Chains A and B, each alone.
Chain A
Amino acid sequence: MSETQFIQQVCERVKDHAARKAPLRIVGGGTKDFYGGPLVGEGLSIAPYSGIVAYEPRELVLTVRAGTRLTEIEAALAAEGQMLPFEPPGYGDAATIGGTVACNFSGPRRPFAGAARDLVLGARIVNGKGEDLSFGGRVIKNVAGYDVSRLMAGALGTLGVMTELSFKVLPKPAAEATLVFEMDEARMIESVNRWAGQPLPLSATAWEDGVLHVRLSGAAAAVASAKLKLGGTALAEGEQFWVKLREHRLDFFADGGPLWRLSVAQTAAPLKLGQPQLIEWGGGLRWVRGPLSLQQARDAAQQAGGHATRFRGGDRGAGVFHPLAPAVAKIHRRLKHAFDPAGILNPGRMDNFQA
């Protein structure tokens, strides 16, 4: 379908729904239906609007239609020796770039290379009034107007329907290595933070049950010298470990029980929750599996300088995202109204403020 046709259709559909105040549920590959507040409204599929709009490796910039699958993007970038630096998880082959940005999902490389929001350069959206709008662009530096493109990252489609997105991309590292260490949680938190303060080519950390995995990425010489400096045991086929971690295919995630995501200060002391934990992002991301109470999860995260999300499983109707301070919630309500006055785009998907 041509660009104009598809976007016009989306605009018309949104206008129609706005006039009727009838909710729309924006759908990409459907791989993240588990995430966020309950799904409401008629489906608006973006998956048909797919394909790479522009990719010039020497510009380090990629522009894609929002319905493009992550797998297609990764293949196109890999052919040029490049990558999406935020290493997004797909949670299924049908995952689209639009859904990924809507959730601001980023993988193991996030603390060292930035999140989805950090790499977004531009966004074309249809707002809740059915207007086709473009913000940001295809250049790395751009401060013209408010940064609406980054505002779309993590907004769960509640502010606009993303139709096209531009990203900064980077060359794949020339060399990678995975090291394994045995250490307890407190020592791990101290070690990974201390290492992150040194000029070492760290690109990921993951700890579970006394075992720490560390990934190094960079120039071959830098990776080799960091291996010597850090010690540990080299893991053959380390790459597979990080893919399984990113896609939640490690045994830790296999249990069907509720999965909590606690995003906290990287240096926060071990959380005493009495449940199994997997800790990524240099201590900043703590996955907790098990029957935590909502209050327990929120209190622990807040005390550790962050916030808790009921990531997968459990009763999503009881609350998914961390509550906002009243003054922040007020701005959220007004922003929602500014972009979607009829309140029809993915209503309730972001459930920590009343639209």
Chain B
Amino acid sequence: MSAQPHIPQSDRTARRSRVAEALRSRLPGQAVLTEREDLRPYECDGLSAYRETPLLTALPGTIPEAAEVMRVARETNTPVVARGSGTGLSGGATPLADGILLSLGKFNRILSIDPLARRAIVQPGVRNAAISEAAAAHGLYYAPDPSSQIACSIGGNVAENSGGVHCLKYGLTVHNVQKVRALTIEGDDIEFGCDALDSPGYDLLATITGSEGLLALTVEVSVKLLPRPQVAQVVMASFASVEAAGEAVAAVIGAGIIPAGLEMMDRLATEAVEDFVHAGYDLEAEAILLCESDGTAEEVAEEIAKIADVMKGAGCTAFAVSRDETERLRFWSGRKNAFPAVGRISPDYYCIDGSIPRSALPKVLRRIDELSRHYSLRCANVFHAGDGNLHPLILYDANVPGELEKTEDYAGDILELCIEVGGTITGEHGVGIEKIKQMCTQFQPRELEQFHSLKAAFDPEGLLNPGKMVPTLHRCAEFGAMRVSRGQLPHPDLPRF
């Protein structure tokens, strides 16, 4: 899937020496890595099926040093790929063979916490969970909680507009970031957003959030902190079919409840999880729902009673409410470990991130099941049911010739199904390199062109993470040609190359 043109080895070596020399004259000695062994840890992010060795890795430790890297990139016309913790699942931080991999690993300090203003100012390499840990002393926390929160960095969260299990109630990264300080490739040090609740001019803060490193390099983030709910309780309910569980989800929302979290797992997922973490899941059930309520003790008691009524009314076959914090965390442990648990029952798995209107859930799950039989690949379904974000996990074995390709086709079919029912190809993992092909289906050529011109407003030379997120029309035409065999040409008006 690599988007990169083939570069002759000799050119690459010469280029590496030239860029490394320029960087070494401006950065501390240890901050530039060029040896193959040193570059190995940067070959891939969480989308580990795709690897590339970067031209070199730069590890600036200060904003002026990061600015020097951007300057060298500009002066030598070298692309830059920024990387936080490397946990991203769409290949946003996959290196470019001819590009600088800029690691923000040294930007790992929490600069300040203002409890009255409910604000933390942090460097981009700070781990998501570390913010909540530091804010806990003030009764505050940072709400977005992607499943990788113990490892993923806040800079990466901004790049991907990350979500998590609590976003229906508390929002995505874009709703919880106040200000981003960033360096442009042109050498400007810019603040997007301000200390007030809005800022003058265009909402560039929303534009930079989720821009996958294509617009600017985030060097400081000011996040909003929320009061930690006094109490949280989770309901676990079993259902005899995924359709029935889907109905229950709609009924919860229909009853005017906005749960703090509302998750669904199908039987294959619960079996994998139960074997791994012993969360106490009902293995007789075709699907289970986890529905969390948080707030004051009074609010939670009232809401849990309502949720119980709805679940029972929707025909759940078993029902439990967490009795204490230990049990609540145990119920959640299964969901939070779903990915590694599936990793134990299959040599490899491929995680999908489509988002759909909740009403389309039964149709989509039925179709995923049909496709599973068609491709002879198993698929476990984990679902942020509250906000319509699906994570089917396709189980495959990369050592079986052709199986990865078959898996990609299966994944592509699921994503196109999401588009068909009015949803989207990515709810929270980003496009990166992984879903760039489906961008050609989700958007019309003129919309993709608008994206390109938007990028050029920030990065006229196209040096920041080029080739990611937004395909060129040329590439869409190529993909289209690849798909002729299925009788669908998405852009018949485009010239074919």
- Which residues of A pack against B, CB within 8 Å? 56-61, 81, 104, 110-111, 114-115, 117-118, 127, 131, 133-135, 137-148, 150-151, 153-155, 159, 170-172, 174, 190, 193-194, 196-201, 218-222, 224-226, 263-267, 281, 284-285, 301, 304-307, 309, 321-325, 327-332, 334-335, 337-339, 350, 352-353
Contact = CB atoms under 8 A, between A and B. Distances in A.
A265 B121 CA distance: 14
A131 B295 CA distance: 46
A-B CB proximity, top 5 nearest: A305-B195, A306-B196, A221-B298, A334-B457, A150-B206
B232 to A, nearest CB: 11
B456 interface: yes
Given A143-B430, A325-B190, A330-B188, 7 more contacts: A56-B359, A139-B356, A145-B443, A147-B209, A150-B203, A329-B201, A338-B456
B202 interface: yes
Interface in B335-359: 355-359
Given A58-B250, A110-B197, A139 B357 contact: yes
Contacts of A338: 450, 453-454, 456-457
Interface string B407-429: 00000000000000011111111
Nearest to B228: A199
A66 to B, nearest CB: 18
B115 A197 contact: yes
Contacts of A190: 116
29 contacts: A57-B254, A58-B250, A58-B251, A114-B171, A133-B444, A134-B444, A139-B389, A139-B422, A139-B427, A140-B167, A141-B389, A142-B427, A145-B451, A145-B469, A147-B161, A153-B206, A196-B118, A199-B228, A219-B298, A219-B303, A221-B296, A221-B302, A267-B114, A284-B197, A327-B190, A334-B456, A350-B201, A350-B202, A353-B201
Contacts of B389: 139-141
Contact of A143 (B197, B199, B302, B428): B428
A118 to B, nearest CB: 5
A151 B424 contact: no
A266 B117 contact: yes
A52 to B, nearest CB: 16
Given A144-B439, A147-B207, A225-B298, A139 B198 contact: no
Contacts of B250: 58
Given A193-B117, A220-B302, A159 B197 contact: no
A225 B384 CA distance: 32
Contact of A307 (B184, B194, B299): B194
B39 interface: no
B470 interface: yes
B387 interface: yes
A267 B196 contact: no
Interface string B266-299: 0000000000000000000000000000011011
Contacts of A350: 201-202
A153 B198 CA distance: 11
A144 B207 contact: no
B427 A309 contact: no
Nearest to B442: A144
A58 B200 CA distance: 35
Contacts of A328: 190-191, 201, 204
Contacts of B253: 58-60
A150 B423 contact: no
A338 B425 CA distance: 25
A226 to B, nearest CB: 8
Contacts of A327: 184, 188-190
A281 B195 CA distance: 13
B244 interface: no
Interface of B: 114-118, 138-140, 160-161, 163, 167-168, 171-172, 174-175, 184, 188-191, 194-204, 206-207, 209-211, 225, 227-230, 250-251, 253-254, 256-258, 295-296, 298-299, 301-303, 355-359, 384, 387-389, 422-431, 435, 439, 442-444, 446-447, 450-451, 453-458, 460, 469-470
B258 A170 contact: yes
B200 A141 contact: no
A110 B175 CA distance: 12
A151 B324 CA distance: 43
B454 to A, nearest CB: 5
Contact of A141 (B184, B355, B359, B422): B355
Name which of A148, A174, A194, A321 has the most chain B CB atoms within 10 A of its CB.
A148
A266 B197 contact: yes
Given A56-B357, A150-B206, A154-B203, A134 B388 contact: no
A266 to B, nearest CB: 6
Contacts of A281: 197
Contacts of B299: 201, 218-219, 221-222
Contacts of B454: 146, 148, 335, 338
A151 B206 contact: yes
A221 B293 CA distance: 14
Contact of B298 (A142, A222, A284): A222
Contacts of B257: 171
Name which of A141, A264, A324 has the most chain B CB atoms within 10 A of its CB.
A141
A150 B114 contact: no
A264 to B, nearest CB: 5
A249 B204 CA distance: 32
Contacts of A146: 207, 210-211, 451, 454-455, 470
A168 to B, nearest CB: 9
Contacts of A337: 457
A145 B470 contact: yes
Given A144-B425, A332-B202, A352-B200, A59 B139 contact: no
A196 B117 CA distance: 9
Nearest to B443: A145
Contacts of B172: 141
A324 B427 contact: no
Nearest to B301: A221
Nearest to A284: B197
Given A142-B424, A144-B439, A59 B358 contact: yes
Contacts of B118: 193, 196-197
Contacts of B191: 325, 328
Contacts of B197: 110-111, 115, 263, 266, 281, 284-285
B149 to A, nearest CB: 16
A151 B139 CA distance: 33
A58 B359 contact: yes
Contact of B296 (A194, A199, A263, A307): A199
A148 B452 CA distance: 12
B37 to A, nearest CB: 35
Given A219-B298, A306-B196, A144 B453 contact: no
B258 A133 contact: no
Contacts of A220: 302
Contacts of A140: 167-168, 355, 387-389
B387 A141 contact: yes
Contacts of B228: 199
A143 B429 contact: yes
Contacts of B198: 104, 115, 117, 154, 263
Nearest to B251: A58
Contacts of B451: 145-146, 148
A140 B198 CA distance: 22
B358 A331 contact: no
Nearest to A268: B195
Nearest to A327: B188
B196 A143 contact: no
Nearest to B250: A58
